Each structure stands twice: as C-alpha cells, then as structure tokens.
Chain A
C-alpha cells in the first residue's frame, strides 16, 4: 500500500518537473519563432544593410528611415557608462566585503546589497529623474532633463549589487590556504588582493562584467525614464537618446499601428537585441566555465 503511494508521488513529481521544463523550452521557442517571423516580414520591406548600417532612425515621421545605429548608439552609451562605473565600484565592494569587513559589518551590508538588487527598475527610473538629473543640472544647468549620462549612472547603480556579489563569490572560492601562503611571506592585505586574489579570479570577474553588460543592454524602464526617447547618433552623453529597448516599449505602447512596417521594426530591433544579449551570455558562461577549471 505504502509502496504504491510512494510510486504515485514519485511519478507525479516527475511529471510536474517535465511540464515545468517543457514550459520553459516552449516559451523560448515561441519567442524565437515570433521574433523571427515578424523580422522576416520587416526585412521584406526594408533591406538588412540599410537597417544595420543606416544612421537615421525615424520610423514614425515621414520620410521613414530605419537605420538602427542611433538606437545601438543609445544602448551603447548606457552600457559603457554603467559598466565603467559599476565594475570597478562593484569590485571594490567585493574586495571590502571579503577581505576587510568584519563579520558584523558583512552581515549588515550583504542584505543591503540584496535589497538594492530587488528594487523595481521603475523606481530606479524615478530616482534618476528626481535625484540624479537635478544633481547633474545643479553642476551644469545646460544639461537636458532627459540625458544618457543620468541613465547610465542609474543603470550602473542597478547592476552594482550583482557585480559585487558575483565578485564576492569568486573571491570566496579562492582557498584561504592560498591567501595564508601569501601572508606567510610577509605580504599585506593589499598585496594579497592585488597579486593573488584578483589574478586568480580574473576570468570570473570578466564573466561578471559580461553578465553586467547584457543586463545593461536589456534594461528598459529606468533608461526610458532617465534618458528619454530621441533616437540620436551622438557623442554627447548629456543629451536625450533612445535605446533599443526604449524604442520597443514606445512602439508596443501603441505609437504605431499594428501590422505596419513601423510596428514590425520593433521586432527587428528585438531580434538584434536578443542576438546581442545571447552572444554576451555565451561569452560570459564560457568564461565562468573556464575559470571553474582553473581555480580549484
């Protein structure tokens, strides 16, 4: 009797897991099929070359033009700005957490980092608009209300906890016996960090950076609120831009009639975004994989 019950539970769990896995795979496939189908429709009207290399993006205003580079440029401003800020600071936070902070400080700081990571991104957008941008304008009133720098800073703050905790994990994976070997040779903490800890974890730090980049690429709400919706191929980070994700939101929110080429363009942008993130994630995973083998 008991055996039959156990067998039933076993089978049910198995089935449940199978269904969960299938849902995940089917969702991914559905996204790819949808993106692919609409993108093909888009590229039957606009050439891939003029899409990928065009420097003018004006899908909603006549004469229409579908050069995606201004959107890519907007995304890149956000990515580079945020990563250049978040990676060094995140690394410092991780170094502090793993080598300098006492257990007491650590037990206080770690939950704060987790809390930061859990704040809805739209709140970060408000934060940028109502705090970061006014602060910047206080230094220089010429700066536009919507600007790339403010968006980059806020995305940097958003991805900081992730980088800090990934680097902290990497540091704690270095056996303490190796660090002790360093101290036993008369090294100070700084020397152990610089010459042992960071070199031993550099591939994992690289992987954290790559993951941070793909998060910054995909970030939408905060960026739309902070950096605006003007697609521009520009070298000025203090003016309004539009990122790829922000454009997709704009179209989906009803700025373009469904079925038209404007509407389809958002799927082409989505496909490009998907490919960019995919490539970054593959590179990142490979880095993590390689580092698992290297550092015991």
Chain B
C-alpha cells in the first residue's frame, strides 16, 4: 500500500459511465474510475485503445475535436465537468495537461512559462516562478543562460520538459500527462519520474505510459484499457504481481499489444 494513498483517500476525480464517441464510432465504453487526491494513476493499454481520448475528456480538451461527443459524467471536486455551469476555460487552469508531442509556443523560453500564469492573473514574482518551475522540471541548468532564446531552439526532450515546466507554473490541482517521456532520453526520463514522485505530494497526476517499468515505478494505481473498455484497475503492485484478468497479465508481460 502506498503511503499517500492510504493517508489521504479523498476522491478528487471520478468518472461515471463515461462514453466518448468520434462521430458514430465509440472510442470509450462506459468507464468508471476514481482517482484519489495526491496519488499517481497510470493508464496503460495497447495503442489505439483510447487512453488519450479518455485523458482528454478529463479536462474537456475533446471540446476541440469537432466530431467528438462525450456522454456520462466526470466529477471534479464533486462538480460534473460537463454540466452547463462549469467554465471549461477556468477548469483547464486547474487541471493541466502535458501532451505526447512537445508543443512549446513560438515564444522565448521565459515567456512560454509566464504566459499561462499571466493570463490567469498571477501577480507574484515572475522571475522566481520561472526559475522554480524550470528547476522542478529539471531544465534550469541547461537554459538558465538563455531564457530569452526561442523555445524552438531547444531539443525535443528539452522542449517537453519546458512544457512540463509551464504546466507546473500554473500550480494546477491535477496534471494529466499523455506519454510525456516518449520523446526523452533515459536521463531526462529519470528526471521527469523523480519530478512526478515529488509532485504527487501536492498534486494528483494521471499519466498515460507505454512503459510498464515506468508505470510500476511511479504509480499508485494502474488502469488497464483495451479497445475502449477499462478491463482492470487497482493498486499498481497488485496489478503487476497478480492481476485478476488474464488479458491484463498478457499485456503486462508483453504477450500482446
């Protein structure tokens, strides 16, 4: 049992019968999930099983896919995210997202980080915020002398850490990460994993990963998806040592997917 999970069992994010469609095609089938505050949840499953789709429905990024339709409920701090009263713009400042491919803005490194806080009314010390965020994303040492260079001059791995830094700078409650390490070398991957472990004391993290060792190392709970269905979920150690569904075991041990 993970210490943080047992100490703090308040549910921060919960889905109820969540279905997602692209046009007529159903990509997510009636998924129920409960994520406890201050934990790391790993979403695993073969390519195309709907992990990204599911993740995007948690901060309403699917709103931007014109064919996507969400049916069912997502509760965040007790409120249904898909009710009319919820403002998706405000919501996304509390539930941040790191994408699979690095997507820095065509701006300086410094402005990539300050832009989000600025438009959301942050009035504190920007220099300090930039330094703190970059340090936590393990990027500070590499960029501290060229903060005003274009973010496009960074390598792919550095760009991804910058995107993580700009998400942290918003100080969100929940961070959704879609395979954040797929473009990183082992050293930066290690840095990101350390960061996730450190962050989870204050934030809740939901991470999609294809790397089973990574899921095992950093997550408290694991969710296994297959063809849009949530096949099995539970404590990571238990899922990895004695899964109750054969398909989960096959996937984890690399027999398919």
Contacts and interface: CB of A to CB of B under 8 A. Distances in A.
Interface of A: 103, 175-178, 180-188, 191, 195-196, 199-200, 294-296
Contacts of B99: 177, 180-181, 184
B103 A180 contact: yes
Contact of B106 (A176, A188, A294): A294
A185 B103 contact: no
Given A184-B59, A185-B119, 13 more contacts: A177-B99, A180-B61, A183-B61, A183-B92, A184-B61, A184-B92, A185-B93, A185-B166, A186-B91, A186-B119, A199-B106, A200-B106, A296-B152
Contacts of B97: 184
Nearest to B91: A186
A184 B96 contact: yes
Interface residues of B, number: 28
B107 interface: yes
B103 A181 contact: yes
B172 to A, nearest CB: 9
A176 B59 CA distance: 17
A185 B170 contact: yes
Contacts of B90: 186
Given A177-B101, A180-B103, A196-B105, A186 B92 contact: yes
Contacts of A178: 103-106
Contacts of B105: 178, 181-182, 196, 200
Nearest to A194: B119
Contact of B115 (A103, A175, A195, A200): A195
Interface string B150-163: 00100000000001
B90 to A, nearest CB: 7
Contacts of A199: 106-107
A121 to B, nearest CB: 37
B89 interface: yes
Nearest to A177: B103
16 contacts: A178-B103, A178-B104, A178-B106, A183-B61, A184-B99, A185-B93, A185-B115, A185-B167, A186-B89, A186-B92, A186-B116, A186-B120, A187-B89, A187-B119, A195-B115, A199-B107
B87 to A, nearest CB: 9
Contact of A180 (B64, B96, B166): B64
Contact of A188 (B89, B96, B166): B89
A195 B61 CA distance: 19
A185 B96 CA distance: 6
A191 B120 CA distance: 10
B160 to A, nearest CB: 12
B83 interface: no
Interface string B87-129: 0011111101101010111110000000110011000000000
A99 to B, nearest CB: 11
A270 to B, nearest CB: 42
